[in-house]
Every structure is written in C-alpha cells, then in structure tokens.
Chain A
Amino acid sequence: MAVRFYQVGSFAVGNRLASPADRTIQSEGGRSNSLTSGHRACQGCGEALGARYALDAAMRATGGQMVAVNATGCLEVFSTPYPETSWQIPLLHSLFGNAPAVATGVAAALRVKGRSETRVIGQAGDGGTVDIGFGCLSGMFERNDDVLFICYDNEAYMNTGVQRSGATPPAARTATTQAVGPHPGNSFGQGKNMPVLAMAHGIPYVATATVADLHDLEAKVTRAMSIRGSRYIHILVPCPLGWASASSDTVRIARLATQTGFFPVFEAEHGEVTGVTTIRRPAPVTEYLRLQGRFSHLFDRAGNPAQPEVLDALQAMADENIRRYGLLEATDEVPS
C-alpha cells in the first residue's frame, strides 16, 4: 500500500493512517467543539484553527471541567456577536488588556469555592498579550496563578485593521508600518520575545506551537493542563487578511515559519528549555516571506530579492534562532 501524505510537503501522516492513540483530538466524534462552526472568522483564519485545537485539547485533558477568559480581539468579535455565540464552553469576555487578571479572579473564585478541579484558560491575540495585556500577564505569571494563558500570535492588530504590535516582525508591512520610505515596513531592533519573557518569570511551563503541527499543539496543551500554576503557550497563527496571504496557505506558511527557524518551536519548564522541534532541512526565509504580501516590498515583480540587505537581516534572525535553540537535526533524512 502506498503511503499517502495528506499534508503535502510535510512529514506528517494523516489521521486515518495513524494509530487511534496517535490521532488528533479533532478526529474524535466526541470532541468538544469548543469553538463550533458558524462563527465569522475569515477563510483560512489561523487563530480560529489554533483556538479550536487548543481548547478541545484542554477540554479533553480536563474532562470538560474548564472555563475560559477571552481578551477583546478578533477571536472575541468573530465568535460572540450578540445574541449569538460560537462557544460551547463557559466564556467570559471583559476587556482588551485584562484577560490575565480576570482569569486570576476566576481561578481564585474556583479555589475559594472548592471547585479547583475546574481549570481556567485565558486567551488573547498578540496585542492583548505582549502589549496592552502585558502588565496583567506579568502579574499573573509572577504570582504563579493557576491559569493556562494562550497567545494566538498573528503578529499585528488584525481586528482593528492590521496595525503594528510588539510582536510584528521587522520589515513587515502593517497599516502603521507602511511599505514606504527608505526603510519600508516595521523597524529592526524592536519587538518583544514573549515566550522568553514568560520563561524569565520562572513559571512551570512555557511552550510555542503553530497551526502547522496540530498534534504538537494538542500535546502541549495536554501537558500544560497536567500542571498547576501559571503556564503559557504561544501559538503562531497566520492571518490571511493581515499577512496578505492566500487563505489556502495558512498551514503552509506556519510550517515554513518553523522550518526556516523564523519561529522556533520549543518547550520550557521553570525557565529552562526542555525540548525543541527540530528542522530537517532549513528552508531559506525567502520561501516563507514570498508567500506573504506584507513582505512583498522585499521582492520585485518577478519574485527576485529587491532588498537583499533586509532579506539577509531576516535570514540572520532565523539562523540565530536555529543556533540558539539547537533546531538543526543531526541527520538529514529525506522522505521517500
């Protein structure tokens, strides 16, 4: 029987060929559908995909004993236009910048009520995590409150029309880092490395993931829910609207983000990296960037590099990630 790769270009095998124990939670008939169909996310939305996998995994890990707190943002707006809701889990939306603190309050209430078996998830986009919510998140981490906080990172303020955030990569075009002038796009030398900042708080568990490797995402959420205290998962979720990419390329772009080293995928416990997702054959960053209109000013119409020094600098960032996290596999196998 010929092995068929369902996810073209990857080394992953589709659910139907995996043993039942290895299949994704999404393949189960009894999955929670935490974020159910009918919501108003864009076609190809990485955030909706990531949230669905993450929350269903958390629901399975907790036996359905879970509540969630959501920051203002795309995820909240596309899921809860009154009087509709796509959430099949209890969900509280308060404000843009306070989701971690609200989650702390929820966890405190559950503890005082003797209902600590009910677990708490806080979630926000990158703006709600690294910028406006950062103070509350740092406080939550510092107190080691019993909350898993998930950042769905699409690298800009998409809900308000694609403005730069502290998670926007250098050179990316946004509505406030326009692709004009001598240095088009976002500046170099800025931005927050949120997973590292989370690790610096010494919390029990920090992980990064992408919507390209959903098994890995589910495993990390499951692992996070087995731990008490503050936990943080940072999920890269491509945004077709903000990244000016094809809706059908969301997973492909997320995979290239990891395979270039541009977005390192790793786990850390108590501030120490404990595991990385290695890269078999590092792809050049141009492969990742070329698929995204937000970087189109770095290429000419034929797709050739128009700003080689910028591309070199971006490649250097990816190379540095590969070095820093030891992302390169020792062997260089090529799948047949």
Chain B
Amino acid sequence: MLRQIEGSRAVAETVALCRPEVVCAYPISPQTHIIEAIGELVKTGELAPCEFINVESEFAAMSVAIGASATGARAFTATASQGLLFMMEALYNAGGLGLPIVMTLTNRAVGAPINIWNDHSDAMAARDAGWIQLFAETNQEAADLHILAFRLAEEISVPVMVCMDGFILTHATEAVDMPDQGQVDAFLPPYEPRQQLSPDDPYSIGAMVGPEAFSEVRYLAHAHQQEALARIPELSAEFAEAFGRDSGGLVHPYRSADAEVVIVAMGSVLGTIKDLIDTQRDTGMRIGALGVTSFRPFPIDAVRAALREAHQVVAVEKAFSVGFGGVLSTDVAMALSGLPVPVATVVAGLGGRVITKTSLQGVFEAAARGDIPRLSFLDLNEKLVERELARIAQGRRSGPSAENILRDLGTVASGIG
C-alpha cells in the first residue's frame, strides 16, 4: 500500500514485519526515529513476540545481538557514525561468527570534527568487518532491502548492514509502497539457525583458532560472501515477483549502455545524478550512471561488464581514505584492471555538504572533455584551506584547524581567541 511516510518509519515498520525477536537500541542521530518506532511497536504489542532492550552503548547493542542471534533469535539493531565505530570490535565478532544479524546503518560522517550529517565514512570504516553492505538509493529501497537482508543473512549465515543516507533518506517523507505481513511472511521464513546455544545440543561457540586453521576460517567468510554475489540477484528477482517492484540487486546501470562517461555512486545521490544525466543527455552528452547496491560483496564482474566500454569512469564518493583517495573507486579500478578505462575520484558530500546539480554538471563536463583530475574534492573552498595551511606554516602554535576555519568563515561558536 502506498503511504506518505518518513524513511525511518518505513524502515521501522518493515523491520517489524520481518518479525525480529530481539531488538537492541542505543540512540544516535540520525538513527533514532527507527529504534523509537520499533520500540513503540513492541510496547503496544503490535510487534510480538519481541524483546526490545535499551542498552548502554553501541558496543553492548551489537553484543546483545550476538548473544541473541547465537541463541537462535532473529536479531536487529541500528546505528550510525561514531556508534558503528564504537561497536567495531563486536561487528567483526558477529562477522567472524557468521551470525545473521541485520543492522540499519544510517550513514553519517565520523569525527573529529564531530558532525551529525550524512556521508559514507562510517560504512567505509566497516568495509572489511565481514558484513554484507547494501546501499539504498531511495526510502522504498531502504525498506525493501531489510526484507532481503534478513532472508540473505539467514540463508548464507552472514550479517547484513543496510546502509541508508542519514537525514537525506531517514528524515525524508515520501511515498513508499509498504508491504503487508502476508507478503513478508511468504518471502521470509522463520529463522532456523545452523547451530545455536542450547542445552539440548551443547556446543562451544567462539573457540580460539591458531595459525593452523585461521586462514581457512577466514576464507570461508569470503566464500560465503561470494555465494551472496550469486544469491543477491536471485533473491532480488524473487522479491520482484513477490512484491511487484525491483529492489536490491548488485548494481543498477542507468543509461550507461552507450555512455562514454559513466558516473559510479552509492546511495541517495544517485537520484540527483540520474536527473542530471537526463538533462545532459538532451544536450547530446553520452553519459550514464552505475549505482552500486552491494558494496560488500563487491560485484567485480558485474561492475567490469557494466563499465568496460566507457571512455571515462568517475566515482562520486561520500568518503575517502585519508592519505590516498577514493575507496569505491579503488574497487572500481580493480574491476577494470587490464582495460584502458581511466577511473577518477570525486569526493563529494562530506559531512552533509549538499551535492548540487550545478557542481555535478562541472564534473560531467570535465569528464566528457577528458580533463578530470585523478582525485578532486567537489566544491572545496580552496581559499579557506590555503589560509589555514598558511597559518600552520607560520609556526607550531597555529591553533586548532577546525576552529580556525570556522572563525575564518565567521560561523557561530568560533569566537574564542
């Protein structure tokens, strides 16, 4: 049923339809509306049986999910940013134990400087934790991916993180076709764990593994994710048949078949990119896009197939590896290895900076001309950066950079000194 609904609410209600049995919650913006809504559904009895646990930290949230999942319960939590990093050790543990926990990551920048707005730094920090990472482009997809996520996680015994852009999606109200309980129940069978903590069949779970077997255990984690590469398209096709719409999949090409320039991106920015592609196409620019839904496992073959005919690939990324450059673009370049297709990185939208069509148009045009730099930062205030670099060069006691920059901008809270 189509409903005008906030993204967080749509996700919360969809997660509730997936019948999670243990939900643990620790608040962090912009995830709060999701856990608040689920908590309410548990409190009213609409979501039952379900244990909703207010924990004392994100580290505890993931740990409670680990205990619940290992005991055979379907477990869910949600977090963002600092919260994801605070639970990082437990994140790796859940991945290593192969527990099919599903978590919403409402993507947000990672400090310092502290910043509550959207980018993908948090998800990239957890890239190697052994979780599947799926990126939603719209609120519809964010809701739908959770249904797929539980099914996928439990089938292949790997935890799944559904990434949705903080505020841009979580706090946006738009039309979402909400599934009903019967549809979800038909698609998602009850969780049947491979092994669980039970006196009926006592196992020791979480043994210490030395050099003699560690590589093999880690390889199996990789093999599970490779299995997911095959399973994600199958499940997405099944989902389309059951729910009557496309969601999920590994990648989403957009007008890229004959494109000379292909923009690669993840998440909600794809909407802006597609809009601009439509207008640029009208002017004759041969440009298209490739949306990456599954970042882990990275669909290296699908990406190679989609981009091999391009003259220039540009990854527009909301994160970067400090001291190097693009993260997504590194994977894209690997997918294109051996092919004469250059890959440029445009770092954009950090800490919630708006990615405008005007700025993107400059990127498109530079790429079409063939003079896009290998690495650039969209809308970087270069004068501001240069002033601070000059100040730093003057002497050691140049003060804190973040505060200096805010003072140069005349922003609030920058008055000291």
Contacts and interface: CB of A to CB of B under 8 A. Distances in A.
Given A69-B67, A101-B63, A105-B63, A112 B51 contact: yes
Contact of B55 (A67, A95, A139): A139
A105 B97 contact: no
Interface residues on A, range: 35 or more
Given A106-B71, A143-B53, 17 more contacts: A81-B210, A82-B209, A82-B210, A82-B213, A85-B207, A90-B205, A91-B203, A94-B67, A95-B89, A95-B93, A102-B66, A104-B63, A113-B71, A113-B73, A114-B49, A118-B199, A139-B55
Nearest to B87: A98
A90 B208 CA distance: 16
26 contacts: A80-B206, A81-B208, A81-B210, A82-B207, A82-B208, A82-B209, A90-B201, A90-B205, A91-B202, A92-B197, A93-B206, A95-B89, A98-B66, A103-B67, A105-B53, A105-B69, A105-B70, A105-B71, A108-B22, A108-B51, A109-B21, A109-B72, A109-B75, A112-B73, A135-B59, A143-B53
From A77, A102, A105, residue with most partner B Cβ within 10 Å? A105
B197 A90 contact: yes
B198 A90 contact: yes
A83 interface: yes
Nearest to B54: A143
B348 interface: no
Interface string B49-64: 1110111110110011
Nearest to A110: B71
B16 to A, nearest CB: 14
Contacts of A91: 197, 202-206
Contacts of A108: 22, 51, 53, 64, 67-68, 73
B197 A67 contact: yes
A105 B206 contact: no
Given A90-B202, A91-B204, A136-B59, A104 B70 contact: no
Nearest to A122: B67
A142 B56 contact: yes
B63 A95 contact: yes
Nearest 10 CB-CB pairs, A to B? A105-B67, A93-B206, A139-B56, A101-B63, A109-B71, A109-B73, A98-B63, A102-B67, A105-B64, A85-B204
A138 interface: yes
Q: Which of B57, B75, B199 counts the most A-chain CB atoms under 10 A from its CB?
A: B199
B59 A97 contact: yes
Interface string A53-65: 0000000000011
A142 B57 CA distance: 13
Contacts of B209: 82
B59 A109 contact: no
A89 B59 contact: no
Nearest to B75: A105
Contacts of A281: none
Most chain B beta-carbon neighbours within 10 Å: one of A69, A79, A92, A97: A92
A76 interface: yes
Contacts of A64: 199
Interface of A: 64-67, 69-70, 76-77, 79-83, 85, 87-95, 97-98, 101-114, 118, 135-136, 138-139, 142-143
A138 B203 contact: no
A100 to B, nearest CB: 8
Contacts of B49: 112, 114
Contact of B198 (A67, A69, A88, A114): A67
Nearest to B60: A101
B197 A88 contact: no
B90 interface: yes
Given A101-B64, A102-B66, A118-B199, A67 B71 contact: yes
Contact of A105 (B24, B50, B202): B24
A192 to B, nearest CB: 17
B310 interface: no
Nearest to A88: B202
B55 A101 contact: yes
Given A65-B199, A105-B68, A94 B97 contact: yes
A64 B201 CA distance: 12
Contacts of A80: 204, 206-208
Contact of B67 (A90, A97, A109, A112): A109
A70 B24 CA distance: 20
Contacts of B75: 105, 109
A113 B72 contact: yes
A83 B204 CA distance: 10
B56 A102 contact: no
A69 B64 CA distance: 12
Nearest to B205: A92
Contacts of B68: 105-106, 108-109
A35 B213 CA distance: 24
B65 interface: yes
Contacts of A95: 63, 89-90, 93
Given A112-B73, A135-B59, A87 B21 contact: no
A84 to B, nearest CB: 8
Interface in B272-321: none
Contacts of B63: 94-95, 98, 101-102, 104-105, 136
A135 B60 contact: yes
A286 to B, nearest CB: 40
Contact of A98 (B22, B24, B60, B71): B60
Contacts of B55: 101, 104, 139
A98 B70 CA distance: 14
